[in-house]
Chain A
């Protein structure tokens, strides 16, 4: 069993031996509200996400996973700390440039797919390209190719309502990947799917989404998909409590309890 154990602390303190991390989070604090109603959701997060890896971000509901994801995506601004995404200090970018940077470098997969209901599958996939000014004909061609890659070559002209949940999420994956992002951000991509479809989606993410030039962050509650990750970072009460490697076992052998109900069956090391 190959084991890759890292703690957030170790990543921070260890000298960088390879390429810079895709995402570097240092002491990030994020609060909502003011005065008596102020709630600090992220309480000093340290985390690295490497190029080429698929990091699973797990933890209890309300622990700050979605907020951390929004912060990494540049959708929410941080209060304190350092946040570098693909080597760019994201908090220092002005709003418009941040939006542009996000569009050019990141892909998103959402829990509820968020496909445009009146657009066909191929048109939905083409949307990120159209946003960035790719000519419609070229955008649709690239979208069609991407749909074939995720196994939906025969569903290109279907509107989302005519597709199953699994097929809709595959369209969403194709949409996230079509602009060849270097950071893929997935928010509970299997939550709206049954177990079998969830496994298929993760297999597609692992096979199609991963590449040496891309990092993938997946927020999930679903322990059945842990085996698809390289590392698992557990976020509880606004803090990273552990970052652990996932043993490389043959698919189907590794299952574990749902996050929050106990630790997955992998070696762990808590940050000091």
Chain B
């Protein structure tokens, strides 16, 4: 009877297409919004992931990576003395203003890396060499700085601008993950960054560290926290801490969650109603099948097959369209878009729920159907 069920489904093109459109819309909306949401969350902790350090030592009351609470400069040595730590280096992170030659000001995130190791350096350089940071007045800017501060004509290797009235010379352009706040980053050595920074008693923002190869990173992280009284997090922990802070303090989760929920409800309503109508309009035919000896169970299997077939096709088309959107719209990194396997599984589960709901209301109708209807 699977053959008959599929012929019934595909044969009624108008209803099939409406069902498919409903499910596709639902899947596309959830995947698209979910991917943008997750993309934003990735952006929100790009200040951590771009530096790629296994352990972050912070002020004990830190909330998130962008909310810097400086710590004592002796912290680096204290961390280095914790058993299991392979290395520990200082990191400066602060907000500054760059003044271009044409007089324009641009807000920047200033990053100061340990000069000897350059740990925390960007993973990929578009132009120039990161090692040139060690030369006088050298800074490296990210590709977003080029974009936001006037384009390749205004910012390129060799360009000179000022940070806090001090000279900065661009020696390279790095390629990094965009920041949630869309503020360009400027990299310098730790010592130079502190000269750019406004005078403060404490200028050490974070200590980046790594556990020895034979030591579990979580255990070393806990040990650092216990022995220094500071905050210590693995990269993943600090990333999640930042994401949760953003979710809690920006309302972004509620906004996207509402859209995703609406997509789910609209998809369920469209699919459920269309599928129910599809069943109701074929009630006499189903009655005839019952009269001819088809059991309710057999008819239920037909309905389930129809629901899941159109559901799977809608899932595929919806994912395809959302991916196409993501590929086109987010290809230049202008739109946060991260399509992940957990999201796809979540959407698949949602779609299964919609299919089960649609099939169930139809099966209930069929179970109550008296085959005597065919004689009326």
A residues near B (Cβ < 8 Å) are 66, 69-70, 73, 75-76, 96, 99-100, 102-104, 108, 110-112, 114-119, 123, 127-128, 130-132, 136, 159, 175, 187
A20 to B61, CA, bound (A): 94
Per-position contact with A for B358-372: 1 when CB-CB < 8 Å, else 0?
Answer: 000000000000111
Judge whether B374 and A99 touch: CB under 8 Å.
no
A46 to B272, CA, bound (A): 47
**New A-B contacts (20) at CB < 8 Å, excluding given A75-B375, A131-B1:** A75-B372, A76-B372, A99-B295, A102-B293, A103-B292, A103-B293, A108-B288, A108-B292, A110-B288, A112-B284, A116-B4, A116-B8, A127-B4, A127-B292, A130-B1, A131-B292, A131-B298, A136-B3, A175-B292, A187-B374
29 pairs, CB–CB < 8 Å, chain A vs chain B: A66-B372, A66-B376, A70-B372, A75-B371, A96-B295, A99-B293, A100-B293, A102-B291, A103-B292, A104-B293, A108-B292, A108-B374, A110-B288, A112-B284, A116-B4, A116-B285, A117-B285, A118-B10, A119-B7, A123-B4, A127-B4, A128-B292, A130-B3, A131-B289, A131-B293, A132-B293, A136-B3, A159-B11, A175-B292
Q: Smallest distance from the beta carbon of A266 to chain B beta carbons, Å?
A: 26
A131: chain B residues at CB < 8 Å are: 1, 289, 292-294, 298
B287: chain A residues at CB < 8 Å are: 114
A48 to B269, CA, bound (A): 52
Judge whether B294 and A75 touch: CB under 8 Å.
no
Name A103's closest neighbour in chain B (CB-CB): B293
A132 to B1, CA, bound (A): 9
> Which 6 pairs across A and B sit closest by C-beta, in order of nearness?
A103-B293, A118-B11, A114-B288, A70-B372, A66-B375, A131-B294
B372: chain A residues at CB < 8 Å are: 66, 70, 75-76
Interface check B200, CB cutoff 8 A: no
Judge whether B289 and A187 touch: CB under 8 Å.
no
CB within 8 Å of A: which B330-376 residues: 370-372, 374-376
Judge whether A187 and B294 touch: CB under 8 Å.
no
Q: Which of A99, A104, A111 has the most CB of B within 10 A?
A: A99
Judge whether A114 and B285 touch: CB under 8 Å.
yes
Interface check B12, CB cutoff 8 A: yes
Q: Smallest distance from the beta carbon of A68 to chain B beta carbons, Å?
A: 10
Q: Smallest distance from the beta carbon of A93 to chain B beta carbons, Å?
A: 13
Q: Smallest distance from the beta carbon of A116 to chain B beta carbons, Å?
A: 5
Q: Smallest distance from the beta carbon of B285 to chain A beta carbons, Å?
A: 5
A99-B295, A103-B294, A119-B4 known; A110 vs B285 contact (CB < 8 Å): no
A147 to B376, CA, bound (A): 26
A112 to B289, CA, bound (A): 14
A117: chain B residues at CB < 8 Å are: 11-12, 285
A66: chain B residues at CB < 8 Å are: 372, 375-376
Q: Smallest distance from the beta carbon of B7 to chain A beta carbons, Å?
A: 5
A118: chain B residues at CB < 8 Å are: 7-8, 10-12
Name A110's closest neighbour in chain B (CB-CB): B374
Q: Smallest distance from the beta carbon of B46 to chain A beta carbons, Å?
A: 53
Q: Smallest distance from the beta carbon of A101 to chain B beta carbons, Å?
A: 8
Main secondary structure on chain B at its contact with chain A?
helix
A96: chain B residues at CB < 8 Å are: 295
Judge whether B370 and A75 touch: CB under 8 Å.
yes
Q: How many residue pairs at the A-B interface have CB separations less than 8 Å?
A: 83
Interface check B169, CB cutoff 8 A: no
A239 to B51, CA, bound (A): 92
A168 to B293, CA, bound (A): 21
CB within 8 Å of A: which B177-214 residues: none
Interface check B69, CB cutoff 8 A: no
Q: Smallest distance from the beta carbon of B289 to chain A beta carbons, Å?
A: 7
Interface check B290, CB cutoff 8 A: yes
A66-B375, A130-B4 known; A114 vs B293 contact (CB < 8 Å): no
B295: chain A residues at CB < 8 Å are: 96, 99-100
Judge whether A123 and B7 touch: CB under 8 Å.
yes
B282: chain A residues at CB < 8 Å are: 116
B293: chain A residues at CB < 8 Å are: 99-100, 102-104, 128, 131-132
Name B298's closest neighbour in chain A (CB-CB): A131
A175: chain B residues at CB < 8 Å are: 292
Judge whether A119 and B290 touch: CB under 8 Å.
no
B284: chain A residues at CB < 8 Å are: 112, 114
A175 to B8, CA, bound (A): 17
Name B370's closest neighbour in chain A (CB-CB): A75
Per-position contact with A for B94-124: 1 when CB-CB < 8 Å, else 0?
Answer: 0000000000000000000000000000000
B285: chain A residues at CB < 8 Å are: 114-117
Name A120's closest neighbour in chain B (CB-CB): B7
A136 to B291, CA, bound (A): 20
Q: Which of A73, A111, A112, A130 has the most CB of B within 10 A?
A: A130
Per-position contact with A for B277-312: 1 when CB-CB < 8 Å, else 0?
Answer: 000001011011111111100100000000000000
A99 to B374, CA, bound (A): 15
A102: chain B residues at CB < 8 Å are: 291-293
Name A76's closest neighbour in chain B (CB-CB): B372
Name A127's closest neighbour in chain B (CB-CB): B4
Q: Smallest distance from the beta carbon of B101 to chain A beta carbons, Å?
A: 72
A204 to B8, CA, bound (A): 29
A111 to B376, CA, bound (A): 9
A75 to B371, CA, bound (A): 6
A154 to B361, CA, bound (A): 40
Name B295's closest neighbour in chain A (CB-CB): A99
A231 to B291, CA, bound (A): 25
B290: chain A residues at CB < 8 Å are: 99
Judge whether B292 and A73 touch: CB under 8 Å.
no
A76 to B291, CA, bound (A): 11
A116: chain B residues at CB < 8 Å are: 4, 7-8, 282, 285
